[in-house]
């Protein structure tokens, strides 16, 4: 991470029942199975074209697994502090949450969650368990403090942690 960067990379909790390598193995098994069936005895099956359809779906599945689990297109989950805004992105296929400074009343920085209270009494909770690594946590907390001080936002930090 560059020293001038205001973007903190997040690692979403893995809530999938099958781990990444398991999903990839399933997809590769499908591809091998379909190719074996397609190049086997083509006269044995009336619906030979379905092998190619299933092969296409298997490749799409492998692509989906790779896009969701590997940073192919750059950082996919992040929290960024930009001039006048705080931006939260929770994955490739999820929309950005943009919090304008003029709408933020307070930031509550706890050990495992950061709560963003808006002027319209909306409360957004951002899970800080996604911030992995001691150094990244320190950088994150310092950026939140600088952001709050720069824009005069009330920062509530019951137990100011060092890491």
Structural class in CATH, domain 91-156: alpha beta
pLDDT in tens, 21-49: 899 999 999 999 998 888 876 666 677 78
pLDDT in tens, 104-126: 999 998 888 899 999 998 999 88
DSSP strands (E only) in the chain: 7-9, 77-82, 85-90, 96-100, 104-109, 113-118, 123-127, 154-156
Contact 99, 84 (CB under 8 A): no
Which has the higher per-residue pLDDT, 158 or 83? Answer: 83
103: confidence class by pLDDT, cuts 50, 70, 90: very high
Closest CA to 79 of 14, 139, 119: 139
pLDDT in tens, 51-84: 889 999 999 999 988 887 776 666 677 888 888 8
Count of H-run helices and E-run strands, the chain? 3, 8
Q: How far apart are CA 103 and CA 101, in angstroms?
A: 5
Q: What is the pLDDT of residue 120?
A: 92
User: Does the pLDDT at position 1 exceed 70?
Assistant: no
User: Does the pLDDT at position 3 exceed 90?
Assistant: no
User: Does the pLDDT at position 2 exceed 50?
Assistant: no
Q: How far apart are CA 120 and CA 136, in angstroms?
A: 31
Q: What residue spans define the domains of the chain?
A: 91-156
Q: What is the pLDDT of residue 100?
A: 93
User: Is residue 102 helix, strand or coil?
Assistant: helix
């Amino acid at each position: 991470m560059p020293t001038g960067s205001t973007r903190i990379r997040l690692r979403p909790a893995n809530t999938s029942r099958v781990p990444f390598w398991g999903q990839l193995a399933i997809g590769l098994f499908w591809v091998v199975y379909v190719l074996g069936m397609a190049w086997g005895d083509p006269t044995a099956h009336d619906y030979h074209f379905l092998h190619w359809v299933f092969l296409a779906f298997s490749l799409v599945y492998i692509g989906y697994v790779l896009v969701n689990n590997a940073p192919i297109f750059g950082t996919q989950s992040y929290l960024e502090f930009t001039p006048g805004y705080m931006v939260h992105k929770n994955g490739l296929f999820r929309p950005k949450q943009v919090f304008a400074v003029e709408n933020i009343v307070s930031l509550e920085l706890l050990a495992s969650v950061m709560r963003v209270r808006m002027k319209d009494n909306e409360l957004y909770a951002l899970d800080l368990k996604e911030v992995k690594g001691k150094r990244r946590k320190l950088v994150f907390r310092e950026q939140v403090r600088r952001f709050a001080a720069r824009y005069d936002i009330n920062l509530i930090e019951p137990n100011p942690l060092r890491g």
